[in-house]
Structure 1
Amino acid sequence: MAVAPHPLVSAARSLAEDVLAPNAARVDQEGVPVSHVEALRRAGLLGVSAPEEYGGAGAPDAVAREIAEILAGACCSTWFVQTQHHTPVRLLARAELPVRERLLRPLATGELMAGIAFAHVRAFPRVPVRARAERGGWRFDGTVPWYTGWGLNDVMLLAGVTEADEVVFAFTDAREQPGLRPSPPMRLAALTAARTVTLELDGLWLPDESVVLRTPQKEFALVDRPRNTNASPAVFGVAEAALRVLDEAGETRTAHGLRGRLDEVRRQAYELAEHPVPHERIEERLTLKTRAYDLMRAATTAAIVAGSGRALRLDGTAQRLAREGMFLLVQGQTSDVRRAHLAALAQI
Structure 2
Amino acid sequence: MRSNLFEVEHEDFRAAFRAFVSAEIAPNANAWEQAGIVPRELFTAAGEAGVIAMEVPEEYGGGGAPDFRFSAVVAEEIGALGISGAGLGLATHTDICLPYLTALGTPEQKKRWLPALASGESIAAIAMTEPGTGSDLAGIATTARREGDSYVVDGAKTFISNGINADVVITVVRTDRESRHGGLSLLVLGRGMAGLTRGRNLDKLGQHAQDTAELAFDGVRVPRENLLGEEGGAFRALVANLPQERLSIAVLALGAARTALAQTLEYVKGRKAFGQPIGSFQNTRFVLAEIATEVAVAGSHVERCVQAHCAGELSAEEAAQVKWWCTELQGRVIDRCLQLHGGYGYMREYPIARAWADARITRIYGGTTEIMKEVVGRGLGL
TM interval, short-chain normalised: 0.7 to 0.9
Q: Give % identity.
A: 19
Partner of 1:157: 170
Q: Partner amino acid for 1:92?
A: L
Partner of 1:240: 258
Tell me the SS of whatever aligns to 1:116: strand
Do 1:113 and 1:155's aligned partners in 2 also have CA atoms closer than 8 Å?
A: yes
Cα distance change of structure 1 residues 285 and 216 upon mapping to structure 2, 3 Å threshold: closer
The farther-off stretch of 202-211 and 328-337 is 328-337
Partner deviation per Cα, 1:238-280 (whole Å, 9 max, x = no partner): 2122123213314575556524432331321332344345564
Partner of 2:99: 90
- 1:23 & 1:188 partners in 2: Cα distance? 19
* 1:17-28 alignment runs, 5 A limit: 17-28=22-33
Mark the runs of 5 or more structure 1 residues left unpaired by the alignment.
343-348
Q: Partner amino acid for 1:117?
A: A
Q: Pick from 146, 149, 152: which aligns with 1:136?
A: 149
Q: Pick from 178, 183, 186: which aligns with 1:166?
A: 183
Cα distance change of structure 1 residues 212 and 225 upon mapping to structure 2, 3 Å threshold: closer
Partner of 1:13: 18
Cα distance change of structure 1 residues 340 and 281 upon mapping to structure 2, 3 Å threshold: closer
The farther-off stretch of 251-260 and 310-319 is 251-260
* 1:272-283 alignment runs, 5 A limit: 272-275=305-308, 276=311, 278=313, 280=315, 282=317
RMSD across aligned C-alpha pairs, in angstroms?
3.0
Partner of 1:311: 345
* 1:1-348 alignment runs, 5 A limit: 4-6=8-10, 7-34=12-39, 35-59=41-65, 60-74=67-81, 75-86=83-94, 87-94=96-103, 95-120=105-130, 122-163=135-176, 164=179, 165-175=182-192, 177-214=193-230, 215-216=232-233, 219-220=236-237, 222-224=239-241, 226-227=243-244, 230=247, 232-250=250-268, 255=288, 257-275=290-308, 276=311, 278=313, 280=315, 282=317, 284-333=318-367, 336-337=371-372, 339=374
Partner deviation per Cα, 1:217-236 (whole Å, 9 max, x = no partner): 55345425544664622211
- 2:316 & 2:159 partners in 1: Cα distance? 30
- 1:305 & 1:5 partners in 2: Cα distance? 39
Do 2:153 and 2:220's aligned partners in 1 also have CA atoms closer than 8 Å?
A: yes
The farther-off stretch of 190-199 and 246-255 is 246-255
Do 2:172 and 2:185's aligned partners in 1 also have CA atoms closer than 8 Å?
A: yes
1:30 offset after TM fit, Å? 2.4
Cα distance change of structure 1 residues 190 and 40 upon mapping to structure 2, 3 Å threshold: same
1:54 offset after TM fit, Å? 2.0
Tell me the SS of whatever aligns to 2:206: coil
- 1:127 & 1:326 partners in 2: Cα distance? 25
Tell me the SS of whatever aligns to 2:43: helix
Tell me the SS of whatever aligns to 1:47: coil
Do 1:269 and 1:289's aligned partners in 2 also have CA atoms closer than 8 Å?
A: no
Partner deviation per Cα, 1:123-153 (whole Å, 9 max, x = no partner): 2442231121122021111111222223422
TM-score in terms of structure 1 length: 0.85
The farther-off stretch of 62-71 and 310-319 is 310-319
Tell me the SS of whatever aligns to 1:157: strand
Q: Partner amino acid for 1:62?
A: R
- 2:91 & 2:148 partners in 1: Cα distance? 34
Cα distance change of structure 1 residues 291 and 76 upon mapping to structure 2, 3 Å threshold: same
The farther-off stretch of 259-268 and 311-320 is 259-268
- 2:207 & 2:187 partners in 1: Cα distance? 27
- 2:9 & 2:293 partners in 1: Cα distance? 22
Q: How many residues were matched structurally?
A: 340
Partner of 2:272: none
Tell me the SS of whatever aligns to 1:141: strand
Do 1:141 and 1:201's aligned partners in 2 also have CA atoms closer than 8 Å?
A: yes
> Between Structure 1 and Structure 2, whose CA radius of gyration is higher?
2
Cα distance change of structure 1 residues 26 and 248 upon mapping to structure 2, 3 Å threshold: farther
Q: Partner amino acid for 2:16?
A: A
